[in-house]
Structure 1
Amino acid sequence: MQPTILLLAAAAAGTALAFTTNTPPLLTSLTPTRKSTTRLFGKSSDDNSSILKEGRLVEFTAGSGSGGGNSNKLGAIVGKEGKRNLKILTSTGRTVSVPPRSIKHVVPNGRVDTSDITQIEQHESAAASALSDDMAVGGQNVMEMWELLLEEEDATNSIDLVTISELLLGDSSSISCYATKVLLTEGVASYCFKELGGKLADLPLYEPRQVHIVENMRSRAEIEAKEASKWDELKQRIDDFSSNDDMVMDLKGESEEVQIALQSLESLACLANLSPEEMQREEKAASEAITCAKQFLQNVGRRATPEMARTMLVSLGINGWNKHTNMDLIRLKIPTAFDQYLEDAATEIAMNPPPDLDEDLRMDLTHLPAFAIDDASTKEIDDALSVEILSTDDDEPIHSRLRLWVHIADPSRYISLGSPLDKEARRRGTSIYLPTGTISMFPMSLASGILSLNPGEVTCALSVGMMLDNSGGIDEATPPIITPSLVKTTRLTYDQVDLLLDPFCMVDNEGGSSGVCESVENAIDMSIETAVESLRQLQYISEQRLQWRMDGGSSESISSYELPDMTVKATQSADAIDGWEIDIYAKNVFAANRIVTECALAANEAMALYGMTHGIPLPFRGQEMDEVSDDEINMTPAGPCRSWLAIQKSRPSQISTNPLPHAGLGLGMYVQGSSPVRRYADLALHHQIKSHLRGEKLPFPANDSDDDLGDTAATVIGIARKAALVARQLERPANDYWLKEFLQRKGTETTQVVVLSGDRWKDNVYKLFIPDFGAIFSYTSTTSLANGQQIDMQSRTLSELI
């Protein structure tokens, strides 16, 4: 680029001398002579209205309401807006309204025809060209003028912009004055002159800074320029990676500072799917990483927002981020894998099991058919069901001849309290079930291996045997049996059990099968006749138990229909959109589900009774329900709406070391102990009961134990509460995310929804239910909706409501 020609004029003589920056002159001979202060500095009016007239060119602060960013813009005043604001025309042809305080500079001699925006464009173009030329010569022209002015005897005096424009660019036109102003404030050597503040004036004033100040500012500017250059280079590389889907940024090739900054983006990005209120709380208590991430985004010219952080991580592929990365897992610091030393410990236990502390107490129940009923995809098999026939006397009632056995996996047989695996399970608190897979509490080699009730093997269990009275309650005359045991299970899925219980599944006299039962014949190691008989006995018990709980006022007494659970599976597939295949369906409650649920509830009630009877502190769970009248039930449509009514009447559950009634289940007391492979609180309960059976000191004594210096029953309650909270924070949002994605993919397809009820706290807000998927969500309607009303909605529209 041809160097800019510097014109220095001796203002008093009106002479000018031109020279190129390639041949610097002796500036001392060209010092302008000042005739009078009045001429050089002009006259400033205290009344802004005298200069803020129509047609005046001004620089103003442009905030978010006037065109992005908080930078200065150039425009021409076209009039007033309201009592105080000014209407300003910009070079884009847009008119904005700004208060007078936003006017930062009035261009000397700057009056334009407001019908011609090209005049504004000319000023901006001249300023841009001046900055470009200034950059090319490293600010040398401004520096030389500054040195010239400093040599004057009155160098401490201020000088007006018109005079500087004449000295620097050779004329005082409004275009030159504006270009000069931009050079003094934004150019390479902008540190040479100080713009004097105060009231707006026709002739803005500047003061040459002293040498030591300029040197300090120049040194700082050079450092900042070097830093800016580094960020500009990084910004370009980020842009290149972001625009190429096949490129992934390798952090190892970046400086440590950049690596830390890029990794800090995760902390900020993980706020992107929070509610505005939650996001505000998180950002208010901003961690160092979030602060670092925001500064990094600003340095590379991006908005410092969680969504921008997420977008950048996905576009760069950092740490494996993609569109579907689960941000809650990262935000909550949930471990998704086990350290190698824990995997090694799991392998060692499987190969060399520790001595069985309960060997002398274990009851051999391998002669009883034991059915482990669960989903086909379940790997942690933690319970199985048996029916023991105590008498063949047909004159006795059937309930008096049957003992229900619930066999629960016995991980406490292998996992010692205080061991590394126990500490890790305690830290995790629970297995987490996400659409993309399970994050197990124990290494899966253990959870689905020696800790589970795997079919065809003799496995250790904690078995609960119960006799029921004629109403379905646990027989008080025959206390439940709780014992370590040995069992041999048969694995069946819910669908297989429902098939076997189907009345059309015919069994001939020789034990053979026909029809639909043939699909499960290979799944059992006994005759189908034996299996069907045992399952029908379990079905009888479950129906008896359900009726007994309903008589006790359980939520099922309001509605026998149970809302289905939403089952969401997201599986990686090269042939699917975005590489993910999504399957969502409602898991309805049939006979098999009812059998498992009722038998597990009975076992949990029996363990609660055992704890109360023997004074063992356990994590007892309770729940209260609001009263509901018969009229309220009758006015609510049967089916999903009544089930939702029951849910609305249920208060939050409680956990205590003292027995509590559980109104929602219709039980006088209740614990959870049927999933020790999946929940640490259940495992702790097993340790409590088994220690009592062995006559040993309880590992989790009562809170008021005088000799206790370690864990207490309150510790277990704290673990249970924390685990439940973590599961809620992860499982529901993950299901909602994939449901939203699923509905978006269905586009304009129609999905049927059912109105469950109006929101109790918000007007015009309703709870809707999608029967096909088991999903429930809120919906705001401007028209009144009736409970039970069915509505057809576009799937894409539904996705926006999730």
Structure 2
Amino acid sequence: MPTATGKGYCNSLLGFTPVIRTNTQIGSNAKSIGILSNSVTCVHAVPSLTCGAQNSSRSQPPSWSRRSSHDRFRNVVREATTSAANNVSSISDSTLKVGSLVEYKKDGTRYPLVLLVEPNGKSNWWGVDKNGRKQSLQPKQVTLTLPQYPQGVYKESDVTEFEEAADKADDDMLEVAWELVLESGDPISLLDMTSLLLDKQDAKSLYIMHRLLARDRLYFKQAGKAQGLLQGYQAKTASQVAETKLFIQQEEGARRDREAFASAVAASLACTSRAVQPGLEQWQNGPHAARIKALMEIAYSKEGTNSISAQTLNLAAETLQLTSSNPQANSSTGSALSMRPAATNLLTDLKLIRYHEPLEIQRFGLDLTDFPQSIVEEAQVLIKNPPLGPRTRQRLDLTHLAVYTIDDASTEEVDDGLSVERLESGERRIWIHVADPSRWLNAGSPIDLEARRRTRTLYLPWGYIPMMPKCLAKGPFSLNQGEVCCAMSISVLLSSDGSIQEFNVASTSICVTNKMTYEEVDRLLSHLDASSSGTADDLTVLVAAAASRRKYRQSHGCLEIPLPEMDIKVPYSDLDSLRPGVRVSGEQPSESPGRQLVAEMMVLAGEAIGMLGVKEGLPLPYRGQDVKVLPSREDLEAVPEGHCRAYMLRTYMTRSTVSSTPQKHSSLGLSAYVQFTSPIRRYGDLLAHYQVRAHLEGQPLPLSAADIDSIMGMSQESGRFLNALERDQENYWLSEFFRQRPDEAWSATMLGWFREESKLAAVLLDDLGWETIARVDTDIPAVPGDKLQLVLAEAKIGEIGISPHPPPRFSITAHLPSSDS
């Protein structure tokens, strides 16, 4: 068995006999110093030297162990260095030659040891690493040249042997040297450190010590300008070591956290059942809550937002790298927007976001299921303590009238109803009753401001997001059947030509007697006869009034656009289904007497409120719309009647505007018009209610003309964004619908050219009521009115982190025979 040899510096320094042990753990009062040659550990038993960085429980050394240690350390190092210099050949010779072992850096990165095998040009060299790969290096890149063997040159196997020895070296041995060097106060060179700890200065020992010091972060820092074998090292202070230890512990804790998170993600993804997969609450209450929160912030972040902190961006980027969801994620160059798809996909895979989650809507700040808690609490207080005063007492009692509400079967917010009052003169007075949330709310109240922010109720394929808290919108605000309800009612007497002969607006109390759907009204109207009475008689009067109004507006230039409306339905529970049930159907409002009746009555109410505003000089949200010069009769008659002509006329319409002063609404054929009949669902209607109510009660108007213009300007901008959200959801679910039917061919009608020079046509898929743009092949001549066959070209789906979603694309493949043939 080999023994510890050399100058016996450690023995003379500390007065102990060296002990040779193999694979032995040393107790707390000794230091293990490994000599990796022959896999034997040479242990110099030394008393512990206590400093601020060490455990205070360690025993204090005897007083003699410190006596003159400074001087003796200098002497030992001096002797070791002198002896080693005599025994190692060419220790200071850094000349590069074939057979040299060198380490080098390239682009700031330390590369492994290589053996120089041949020159590469005039000054460069080829080196071979432990894997046999050749590396080209320049002399200036060399950071360490090991001394030559006295017996000859190095072999390729030495590269592997040196590397493995350095990898196995025990980093803890540096603590012994640190305590000694710290006490001496002087720097120590690589040569001296090798002699001190390994008791030799052969090439392998030098390389081992070089690697130990290179990867050391705790005890030493480089000192002086010398490099290579003569590089100097200064012992860090005890406080610096303590700080570094704490930092390393924190790093180690962070490393364990990263590994634990990656393992938790892998385990969750491996779950075969949703029932056993961790849910959102478990993640949020677990050790990785901060990572999940950061991913959520990124996934729900709005485009252009700067509200996400750098700490959150860094944590999200690191988390995505851990899970390989985005290996390139880097918060220093990336942004919340660039990481959003990866964050969304990871959360979806973990089932923390539903597969079809409507993220863009939630990014806008709309909760899919409820309102902020403060708004809900405010609504509950309002229900328990209804406001008193004139709004309650001064109401016209109309509970004797039959009131009909006509809506879709799914409607929950009922905000309008109709009545017919028979006068002694034989005339029929039409009543349009409108829900009266202004009886409960004031402009500027928390609920009002939340409604203003939301702008309107958002209708989506899988449900709706209300403008008002549902407990109010479906409760006291709504015109519910069988209940006495507060309403704002408009009464109208029509002239024989359909114009308004007389009108009145009043706060009323009503009782809804008949809650009907459009389908029920259509069926009832289709079976009317001369003997009809009661409900049927009232509906007959209303239908006749609607027909009269329509003729009146037509005579004043209104534009009718009888295009079908598409209806998409998706069960809310299917938002988390890989194959959701999507139903798409087309509806033609112009073919439903019930829908035409309600539409005309709502326009009638809007005209009456507009006339009131003009007469009394009230600032209201007046709607207007200009129409371009219409095509000539010849041009119109050249286009097939029905959908094609409606499409052509629509191109002549302009965007509607809102102003606090009256303006003409050309497409409706009215000189003044105010939307008034949906105050639970449209904020502009609610503003009109505030103004009209104050006028009826003789109170100061709550809003000036400037207020209305400002608020409605913001509402219109918000409304355009909500329209885009609805279109985005339509496109998404249409893509899903067609994705499930990739091989079907669809019948469509060409409505007209969208861009004829590009062969892009507007087409209407007849069965679905969906209008889209499709490219017409050059070998298929087509004109408006032609029946065409369409096949799906592309339907992007599943990219829930990306918005907007493009609509499905179709190709026109053939003409279809018309129904006439």
Corresponding residue for residue 297 of structure 1 = 319
In structure 2, relative to structure 1, the CA distance for the partners of 1:363 and 1:236 (3 Å cut) is: same
Among candidates 439, 454, 457, match of residue 413 of structure 1: 439
2:730 corresponds, among 718, 730, 735, to 735
- Report matched runs for 1:511-522 at 5 Å: 511=532
Name the CA shift for 1:142/1:330 in 2 (closer, same or farther; >3 Å).
Answer: farther
The residue number in structure 1 matching 2:657 is 654
Deviation at 1:374, TM superposition (A): 1.0
Structural RMSD (CA): 5.8
Contact 2:217 2:244 (C-alpha < 8 Å) held by counterparts: no
State the shift of 1:447 in Å: 1.8
Q: Percent identity?
A: 24
Q: Give the one of 359, 373, 383 matched to 2:406.
A: 373
SS at match of 1:267: helix
Are 1:594 and 2:596 an aligned pair? yes
Conservation of the 8 A alpha-carbon contact between 2:221 and 2:235: no
Out of 275, 292, 307, which is 1:262 matched to?
292
TM alignment of 1:398-477, pairs within 5 A: 403-417=429-443, 421-469=447-495, 471-472=497-498, 474-475=499-500
Question: Which of the residues 606, 609, 612 maps onto 1:610?
Answer: 612
Secondary structure at the residue paired with 2:537? helix
1:794/1:427 CA distance change after superposition, 3 Å: closer
What is the Cα deviation at residue 506 of structure 1?
A: 5.8
How many Å separate the matches in 2 of 1:99 and 1:507? 101
Residue type of the alignment partner of 1:334: L
User: Quick one: which amino acid aligns to residue 572 of structure 1?
Assistant: S
Within a 5 Å distance, the mapping from 1:705-720 to structure 2 comes to: 712-714=707-709, 716-717=711-712, 720=715
**Does the Cα contact within 8 Å between 1:637 and 1:787 map onto a contact in 2?**
no
> In structure 2, what is the Cα distance between the partners aligned to 1:544 and 1:422?
38
- For residues 149-548 of structure 1, the aligned pairs below 5 Å read 207=231, 209-212=233-236, 215=241, 220-244=247-271, 245=274, 246-249=276-279, 258-271=288-301, 278=303, 281-282=304-305, 286-287=308-309, 291=313, 293-297=315-319, 300-302=322-324, 303=326, 304=329, 305-318=339-352, 321-335=353-367, 336-338=369-371, 346=379, 353-355=386-388, 357-358=390-391, 362-366=395-399, 368-388=401-421, 403-417=429-443, 421-469=447-495, 471-472=497-498, 474-475=499-500, 478-489=501-512, 490-502=514-526, 505=527, 507=529, 509=531, 511=532, 527=534, 529-541=536-548, 543-545=550-552, 547-548=554-555
Task: State whether residues 625 and 654 of structure 2, in contact with CA within 8 Å, keep that contact through their aligned partners in structure 1.
Answer: yes
Does residue 673 of the first structure (1) align with residue 676 of the second (2)?
yes
Quote the Cα distance in structure 2 between the aligned partners of 1:293 and 1:667.
59
CA distance in 1, matches of 2:211, 2:641: 75
1:601 positional shift: 1.7
Amino acid in structure 2 at the alignment position of 1:562: L
Give SS of 2:677's match: coil
In structure 1, what is the equivalent of residue 791 of structure 2? 793
Given that residues 732 and 806 in structure 2 are in contact (C-alpha distance below 8 angstroms), is that contact kept between their aligned partners in structure 1?
no
Deviation at 1:260, TM superposition (A): 3.6
The CA distance in 1 between the partners of 2:246 and 2:281, in whole Å, is: 31
CA drift of 1:463 comes to 1.8
Structure 2 residue matching 1:466: 3-state secondary structure: strand
> How big is the shift at 1:609?
2.0
**Aligned equivalents of 1:392, 1:168: Cα separation in 2:** 125
Q: Describe the shift of the 1:463–1:158 C-alpha distance in structure 2 as closer, same or farther (beyond 3 A).
A: same
- Cα distance 1:747–1:287, how it changes in 2: closer, same or farther (>3 A)? farther
1:543-602: CA deviation from partner (whole Å, max 9, x where unpaired): 4255245x24x3x2xxx422414333333269x944854333233313322222222122
- Closer, same or farther: CA 249–642 of 1 in aligned 2, 3 Å: same
User: Partner letter of residue 498 of structure 1?
Assistant: D
Partner residue, 2:570: 569
**Are the aligned partners of 2:221 and 2:236 in contact in 1 as well (CA < 8 Å)?**
no
Partners of 1:130 and 1:183 within 8 A in 2:
no
Find the partner of 1:20 among 40, 61, 65: 40
CA offsets 1:325-352 (integer angstroms, 9 cap, x no match): 3323432222442466755665665566
Deviation at 1:93, TM superposition (A): 15
Deviation at 1:21, TM superposition (A): 4.5
Superposed CA offset, 1:624-663 (max 9, x none): 3444533765666655555444444444332221122334
**SS state at 2:519 partner:** helix
> Do the aligned residues in 1 keep the contact of 2:187 with 2:235 (CA within 8 Å)?
no
CA distance in 2, matches of 1:145, 1:358: 89
Contact 1:193-1:206 within 8 A present in 2 as well: no
**2:562, 2:588 within 8 Å by CA — same for their partners in 1?**
no
Deviates more, 1:439-448 or 1:641-650: 641-650
Deviation (angstroms), 1:438: 2.7
Is residue 456–residue 466 contact of structure 2 (8 Å, CA) maintained in 1?
Answer: yes
Q: Report the Cα distance in structure 2 between the residues aligned to 1:691 and 1:419, rounded to whole angstroms.
A: 16
Deviation, 1:689, is: 0.9
1:675 counterpart SS class: coil
3-state SS of 1:746 partner: coil
In structure 1, list runs of 5 or more residues that go unmatched: 9-15, 51-55, 63-69, 77-88, 110-118, 160-165, 198-202, 394-400, 512-525, 704-711
Mapped partners of 2:607, 2:200: distance in 1: 92
In the alignment, what sits opposite 1:113? Answer: none
Task: Verify the 8 A CA contact 1:619 1:717 in the aligned structure 2.
Answer: yes
The equivalent of 2:29 in structure 1 is: none
Write the deviation string for residues 721-743 of structure 1: whole angstroms up to 9, x where unpaired: 36525633543333333333333
CA 1:361–1:312 in 2, change beyond 3 Å: closer, same or farther? same
For 1:396, the equivalent position in structure 2 comes to none
Distance 1:242 1:131, change over 3 A: farther
Q: How far does residue 391 in structure 1 lie from its aligned partner after superposition?
A: 8.2
Code of the residue aligned with 1:674 in structure 2: it is: T
8 Å CA contact 2:299, 2:340 repeated in 1? yes
Distance 1:74 1:539 in 2: 93
| Unaligned runs of at least 5 residues, structure 2 | 1-21, 25-31, 47-75, 116-127, 147-155, 192-197, 330-338, 798-804, 808-821
Partners of 2:166 and 2:666 in 1: CA distance: 77
Contact 1:755–1:787 (8 Å) recurs in 2: yes
Question: How far has the Cα of 1:323 moved from its partner?
Answer: 1.8
Report if the CA contact (8 A) 1:59-1:75 is conserved.
Answer: no
The one of 599, 620, 623 aligned to 1:621: 623
Closer, same or farther: CA 740–171 of 1 in aligned 2, 3 Å? farther
Give the residue type in structure 2 aligned to 1:331: R
Cα 1:686–1:90, aligned 2, differ >3 Å: closer, same or farther? farther
- Report the CA distance between 1:364 and its aligned residue: 4.3
Q: Matches of 1:759 and 1:38 in 2, distance apart?
A: 86
Shift of the 467–72 alpha-carbon distance from structure 1 to 2, 3 Å rule, reads: farther
Q: Deviations over 1:144-189 (max 9, x none)?
A: 9999999999978899xxxxxx9999878xxx99x9999887x576
2:737, 2:224 → 1: CA distance?
61
Deviation, structure 1 residue 235: 2.5
Deviation at 1:417, TM superposition (A): 4.8
Distance across 1 between alignment mates of 2:160 and 2:770: 57
Question: Residues 6 and 18 of structure 1 are in contact (CA less than 8 Å); yes or no, is this contact kept in structure 2?
Answer: no
Deviates more, 1:16-25 or 1:685-694: 16-25
Letter in 2 for 1:654: T
Deviates more, 1:635-644 or 1:604-613: 635-644
Q: Tell which structure's C-alpha radius of gyration is larger.
A: 2
Structure 1 residue 382 displacement after superposition: 0.8
Number of residue pairs matched? 691
Q: Which amino acid aligns with 1:231?
A: R
Q: What is the CA distance between 1:618 and its match in structure 2?
A: 0.8
Task: Write the mapping of 1:16-165 to structure 2, written as runs, cut at 5 A.
Answer: 18=38, 20-21=40-41, 23=43, 33=84, 42=94, 133=168, 137=170, 139-140=171-172
Q: State the SS of the aligned residue for 1:677.
A: coil
Deviation at residue 607 of structure 1 after TM alignment: 0.9
Return the alpha-carbon distance in structure 2 between the equivalents of residues 634 and 108 of structure 1. 94
